Structure 1
Amino acid sequence: MQSTEVSTHKHALTTVINSSSQTAAYLDIGSGPPLLLLHGFFGEKTCWLPLIELLQSQFRCISLDMLGFGESSQPQIQYSVAVEVAFVRQVAEQLNIEPCCIVGHSFGGWVASAYALKYPNSVSSLVLAAPAGIRDDSFCGQYDALRPLLWQTPAVDWALQLAKPFASLAGKSNKLQQISGWRRELMAQPVARSFLISRMRPEDAVDTVEKEIHKLQIPTLVIAADSDETIPLWHCQTYANEIPGAELAIIPNAGHGLPQNQAQVMAKLIGKFLNN
């Protein structure tokens, strides 16, 4: 889909979160039953375009930049799943699309399931693609060495620049480029930085959903990637096992970027699930 086409489908509305006005930016493409699309942790609304191209003839696809992402407001607040749920709620109410199907990828799957738990009558069905939100203490401590990337000081950027010749001599240039990329993403996205800072220890994982999702009575499809480097397969299996009647589809030879890299497979799975 060309950028000129995308721009004609861009919209924004004003929400009120914690008594402050915030802008919600979204794409609105296609016609039919509404699908509300929630992106992943380092994503934004255009991540869904490959999937939207395949679904827009059957569904009205509303792809939202969640609070702190993309062209939506990026207030300097402490972000939480509850804050994102409140933001999504305002958008869904203003667009008058409830009940609707919510499709969430990774972090968006976490927000979608938390939203469905709080507003079960506002969600007709759930599609959770490699969803985050399952407590996993093995994550804690895994990235301790990367904590300096969260520091808001130019000294970190200077250190990365100074490290370039040494990384080149050691054959680690690609690794340094990856770390520098993470740094840029973390500095550009207040949500990512806020979440990582507030969830460094196992006891900080207080808003995961694995203890609550058994309460859901909403038709749910869980889509997993069997070679996911970010969300372990057992997280997806936990969702599928705990949500009554949930379906689990595992895409072989697939990594975490499902909406971008597995759009055709996802479109077929979603179409079949919703048409049934």
Structure 2
Amino acid sequence: MLAEVSALLAPLAAAIGYSSYKARQFEQTYPNIGELTDVGGYRMNAVHIERPEGADLPTLVFIHGASGNLLDQVVAFRAALEGRAEMLFVDRPGHGYSERGGPDNAVPSGQADAIARLMEKRGIEKAVIVGHSFGGAITAAFGLRHPDKTLGLLFLAPATHPWPGGIDWYYHVATAPVLGWLFNHAIVVPLGLSRLERGTRNVFHPNPRPADYIERTGPSLVLRPDAFYNNAADFKRLLAYVKEQSPLYAKITAPTVIITGDSDEIVWEHLHSRGLARDIAGSELITVRGVGHKPDYLATDVAVAAIEKIAGMPRDLQAIARRAEERLAAASRDRTLGAAPSLRPGALRGA
């Protein structure tokens, strides 16, 4: 009997050991580039770019989506906005290198409150809040709960409204008692690594994923056991949360722009982005044809123009979106013909 038990436990122990080794390796490959700040019993991680001389834009706070970390938005926006604004790129509670904090941080409202406390600690009174995907739910919560700190809201392919269906099976397994711990510590790393290439390409579909996206943004950090559990816990609560909160979006008064692709198969634009445009009076919806779930990367120029418009600059966002479509179409033709692709300017099932 003892031999049989040992035969069963040995592979499990080996898998846990391998996962622990790989988790340390992920952190060595993608070390923390931010700074940890105590926000009341736990620490939030962020990259804070101080306000430069000659800045022409207000402070910007960037909130990443699910399965991600602050590097995703740093790579998308830092170079494009360098020298123009104070910027705060946040690791959401329990993601990247931020600690999870209490149970309130398992829902977008709690994470919005955590970001508001982080802003206070970093001396930021007001900002334009920029949220991608799952970060859109947090951005909406921020606008509702902290209007005094909100100069404007920019939603990028946001996940904000109820959707039919559910979530992927592994999020349920990851949050199950006992079995979830074993799954997160023994199975997630090899399973996740086997799906990483395909998964990141799917997030960009139907557009090409940047060749260096994995190398620069560290998506494997979510495969660490605690991070994966927190990500799954966020997903498990999101549908019930948006069912309760989305009727409140009409109370949002901050200047708001929503940018979405019409080919987003991750977060359906007809439910979420159009829903926000319907619910938030005076908001502007920009739909970029041919773009999937990553307008932050495919239409960075449109997002920057939206920030400028929120800041009070005259910008025809619809015209700028049409030019972005022309650029993307030209890049697609270049790839089809085998030529060098055009450069980007400045160069629910998942959320």
TM-score, normalised by the number of residues in structure 1: 0.77
| 2: CA distance, partners of 1:160 / 1:25 | 23
Unaligned runs of 5+ in 2: 1-29, 200-218, 314-351
Tell me by how many angstroms 1:185 deviates: 3.6
Aligned twin of 1:167: none
Change in 2 beyond 3 A, CA 1:214/1:192:
same
What one-letter code is carried by the residue in structure 2 that aligns with 1:34?
T
Match of 2:181 in 1: 152
Q: Tell which deviates more after alignment, 143-152 or 225-234.
A: 143-152
**Residue 251 (structure 1) aligns with:** 288
Q: What is the number of equivalent residue pairs in this alignment?
A: 251
- Normalising by structure 2, what TM-score? 0.62
Displacement of 1:103 in angstroms is 0.7
1:79 counterpart = 2:94: no
Matched, 1:274 2:311: yes
What is the CA distance between 1:132 and its match in structure 2? 1.1
Distance 2:156 2:123 in 1: 25
1:100 is matched with 127
Q: CA deviation at 1:242?
A: 1.0
Contact 2:131 2:139 in 1 (8 A): yes
Aligned partner of 1:229 in structure 2 is: 265
Pair 158,118 (structure 1): closer, same or farther in 2 beyond 3 Å = closer
Matched, 1:34 2:34: no
- Distance across 1 between alignment mates of 2:286 and 2:81: 18
In structure 2, how many angstroms separate the alpha carbons of the residues matched to 1:145 and 1:65? 23
- Which residue, out of 49, 62, 65, partners 2:91? 65
Q: 1:7 to 1:60 in 2, by over 3 A?
A: farther
Cα distance in structure 1, aligned partners of 2:124 and 2:48: 12
Q: Residue in 1 aligned with 2:299? A: 262
Q: d(CA) in 1 for partners of 2:196 and 2:60? A: 39
Q: Counterparts in 2 of 1:1-276, with a 5 A limit?
A: 10-16=34-40, 21-29=41-49, 31=52, 32=55, 33-49=58-74, 50-75=76-101, 77=103, 79-136=106-163, 138-140=164-166, 143-144=168-169, 147-148=172-173, 151-154=180-183, 185=223, 187=225, 188-198=227-237, 204-205=240-241, 208-234=244-270, 235-276=272-313
* Counterpart AA for 1:12: L
- The verdict on how the C-alpha distance between 1:41 and 1:110 changes in structure 2, with shifts beyond 3 A counting, is same
TM-superposed deviation, 1:268: 3.0
**Distance in structure 2 (CA, Å) of the matches to 1:8 and 1:95:** 18
Post-superposition offset of 1:244: 0.8
Code of the aligned partner of 1:264: D
Distance in 2 separating the partners of 1:43 and 1:159: 15
- Specify whether residues 76 and 157 from structure 1 end up closer, same or farther in structure 2 by C-alpha distance, changes over 3 A only: farther
Aligned to 1:67, the other structure's residue is in SS state coil
More helix by share: 2
